[in-house]
Each structure stands twice: as structure tokens, then as C-alpha cells.
Amino acid sequence: MKFDFDATYFNPRDVLECGQLFRFAPHKEGYIVCSRDKACYIFSDGVKTVVESDYPEYFYNYFDLNRDYSAIVGLAKSFGIPVLTHSAEVAKGLRLLNQDAEETIFSFIISQNNNIPRIKGIIDRMCRELGKRRQFAEGEYYTFPAAAKIGEMPPEFFKGLGAGYRDAYLSETGRRIAAGGTEYLKNLSDGELRKELLTYKGIGPKVADCICLFGFSRAANFPVDTWMERIYREDFCGTLTDRNKINAYFCSLFGEYAGFIQQYLFYAKRSNL
């Protein structure tokens, strides 16, 4: 099954290369994208973007296609900040994905002090080793492993995947989530959720913000990593050095939809657009 959608605010490259997800790979004219136990094939001719999957409703929501992104881009430009206006314009094809909470938690624990190609490799090897092999129209893929599966593996296993010192974080958080689940987190307020995530081993302020934003659709969160710090310094002429303070500065500046603003800035800067 497949559906299409206007490509103006739904560009596969922008959506996938902006650093929100790590399980995708070029395929034919587009990409194969995996989420949880599902996969889709996405491509575009520049006018329409097409999504092919056995789970079209899942991916319709995953790609956040119910939201009006002309309004989001308009909001970004309304601040009248030149670098943001430019970023939103060149990156307007990206969307804030509604990802799986568990998958986001483990993925962003791996992401700390790491680079995107290596993060993708570690996650890919983990899915091959611990996930299940599945087939769909465009080929085979591996599902993201359950927390219980991750939790029963010793740290040495993750070190063998190349996860480095993050090995014990994965093992320990796997056991904790296998025992407590993630449902209870969904009922927490933005502030409570972030605070609760900080109690997990391997989750600090930046990773918690990414999990809130990508895995729990909390649009007000604003992750500050090494790239955002650079943007703050170079494009906002900021003088603060504490990432928590930089985070507070941007949150109060951009408000309820700060997460979208962060994505436009991050992607445009990192991709040199």
C-alpha cells in the first residue's frame, strides 16, 4: 500500500538527514526507513513524496503528516531572526517525527559524544543481532529489539557492537525499562518527564531533550549539543558556556514550539545549507 503527500513540506532528504532518526538507508530513488518493527520505502519527485508500506497509517502519523507545516515555518520566520528565517526556508521540508519512545531512548543513549555515521552503525548491528528479520515489498530489514532483549545482554555484548563506554548504560536501562515500561512516562508533564528521564543511567540533559522531543512529541524541548552551542555562539552572538543556561535561553526565547525551531537551525547549520 502507498500514499503520496505534497513535497513542499515533506522532503525525504530533509526529514531523514536532520539527525532525528538513525535507521534509514538509501534505496533505489529514495530511502528505506525503519521504525519499531515496521519499514517503509520513501521517495519523491520534488512535487509529491510517496510512502510505500504495509503500515501506511503508522507512517502517516510517524511523519507527522496531520500537522500544518506552513504554519510552523511561518512561526519560525515570524521571530525576525535572519539566521532562523534562512534556516526555516532551506530546511522547510523536514518534519518532527513521532517516534517510538523505547527506540528513541536507546538510540539517543548511544548518540552521546558520538558521530551520526557511527551511531547508525551501532544501532544497525544491534538490530541485526537482537531484532527479528522481516520482509516487505522492497526487501528485508530488522526490527528494533525489545527492552527485555537489550536488558538481558551483558555490557560486553554492546562493547562488541562498538558502543564503547555506553555499554553498561544500554544494559542497565534495558533492564529498567523491561521492568517498568514507558507507558507511565507518557502521562507526565513536560517538566516531570524530563526530570524522570534524567534518573536513567546514560541520560543527561541533552539526551533527555531529544527523547522528549522525538520520542514523546514534546515540541517545547530544545536539545543543546555541540552544534547548537556553535550556532548559539556564532549566529546568536551568545556568551554563555553552560549548556543548561543556553537551553534555558532558547526555551524562553522560542516557547511552545522551540523544538521545531531547533531542528531548522541544527539541520541547516550541520548540513551547511
Q: Out of 46, 66, 68, 115, which residue is the one contacting DNA (CB under 7 A)? A: 115
- Hey, what's the torsion of the CAs at 162, 152, 141, 211, to 10 degrees? -70
Is 2 noted as a catalytic residue in this protein? no
Tally of CB atoms within 10 A around 231: 22
Using CB under 7 A as the binding rule, the residues of this chain from 66 to 105 that contact DNA are none
Determine the interface stretch with DNA among 83-91, 124-132, 137-145, 199-207 (rule: CB under 7 A): 199-207
- In the complex, the smallest distance separating the C-beta of residue 170 from DNA, rounded to whole angstroms, is 12
Please check whether residue 89 is in contact with residue 73, taking contact to mean a CB–CB distance below 8 angstroms: yes
Residue 50 host element (H or E): strand 48-53
Q: Which is nearer to DNA, 134 or 201 (CB)?
A: 201
Residues 6 or more apart whose Cβ sits within 8 Å of residue 3: 50, 51, 56, 60
Which triple of cell numbers denotes residue 118? 557511527
Q: Which is nearer to DNA, 115 or 239 (CB)?
A: 115
Residue of 59, 208, 34, 54 whose CA lies nearest to 123: 34
Q: Does 264 bind DNA (CB under 7 A)?
A: no
| Active-site annotation holder among 77, 206, 245, 269 | 206
Q: Out of 202, 251, 261, 264, which residue is the one contacting DNA (CB under 7 A)? A: 202
Q: Which is nearer to DNA, 12 or 55 (CB)?
A: 12
- In Å, what is the CA distance from 44 to each residue of 11, 20, 24, 49, 120? 7, 20, 15, 4, 23
Helix extents (H) in the chain: 12-17, 56-62, 69-78, 82-90, 101-111, 116-130, 147-151, 155-160, 167-180, 183-186, 190-197, 205-210, 226-235, 243-254, 258-270
- In the complex, the smallest distance separating the C-beta of residue 45 from DNA, rounded to whole angstroms, is 26
Question: Cell numbers 531548522 label which residue?
Answer: 264
> How far is it, in rounded angstroms, from Cα 268 to Cα 227?
11
Determine the interface stretch with DNA among 1-9, 45-53, 60-68, 223-231 (rule: CB under 7 A): 223-231
Q: Which is nearer to DNA, 50 or 96 (CB)?
A: 96
- In the complex, the smallest distance separating the C-beta of residue 21 from DNA, rounded to whole angstroms, is 9
- Angle in degrees, CA 205, 211, 214, rounded to 5: 135
Q: Out of 105, 219, 223, 258, which residue is the one contacting DNA (CB under 7 A)? A: 223
Q: Which is nearer to DNA, 70 or 113 (CB)?
A: 113
Q: Out of 45, 204, 255, 256, which residue is the one contacting DNA (CB under 7 A)? A: 204
Annotated catalytic residues are 206
Residues of the shown chain interacting with DNA in the complex, contacts defined by CB under 7 A = 18-20, 111-119, 159, 162, 164-165, 169, 198, 200-208, 210, 223-228, 230, 242, 262-263, 266, 270
